[in-house]
Amino acid sequence: MARIPNALTATVPAALTAASGLVGGYGVARWTGNRQLGGAVLAVAGAGAAAQWHRRSGAATAAALTGLYVVAFGGSHPLAKRIGAWPSVLAVTGVVAAASAVASAVVTRPSASRG
């Protein structure tokens, strides 16, 4: 069976997908006043990033990075009480994006380079 390439995940780094979910989820929730809508953005981008991590680096790396994504989201709330909402979101986003970039550079499945 022929494999259909996913144009989005083939061109967008997983770090960018994850960062978009954290920043975009908070931004949507803040600007619309609808936390559920922000949560949906967070969840959809998180699922997309998890799929990219799995495809490029395997299940173990995907599980670790997905866990970090969830912990970063949860940890941004108490951190926001200390440093403010946007600085908190940007700080945890930086951690997730950096971890994603490092994992993608270090742990790449051999089949991930084949389209």
| DSSP string of 76-109, one letter each residue | HHHHHHHH-HHHHHHHHHHHHHHHHHHHHHH---
Domain hosting residue 48, numbered range: 13-107
Residue 14 and residue 52 in contact, taking contact as beta carbons nearer than 8 Å: yes
* CA-based torsion, 62, 67, 70, 71: positive or negative: negative
* Within-domain flag for 2: no
Domain count, the chain: 1
Q: What share of the chain is helix, strand, coil (3-state, %, to 5)?
A: 85, 0, 15
pTM of structure: 0.84
Q: Are 86 and 94 in contact (CB under 8 A)?
A: no
Is residue 4 assigned to a domain?
no
Which residue's structure tokens are 């967008």?
Answer: 12
Q: Is residue 84 part of a domain?
A: yes
| pLDDT by position in tens, the chain (length 115) | 445 455 544 568 999 999 999 999 999 999 999 999 999 999 999 999 999 999 999 999 999 999 999 999 999 999 999 999 999 999 999 999 999 999 988 876 665 454 4
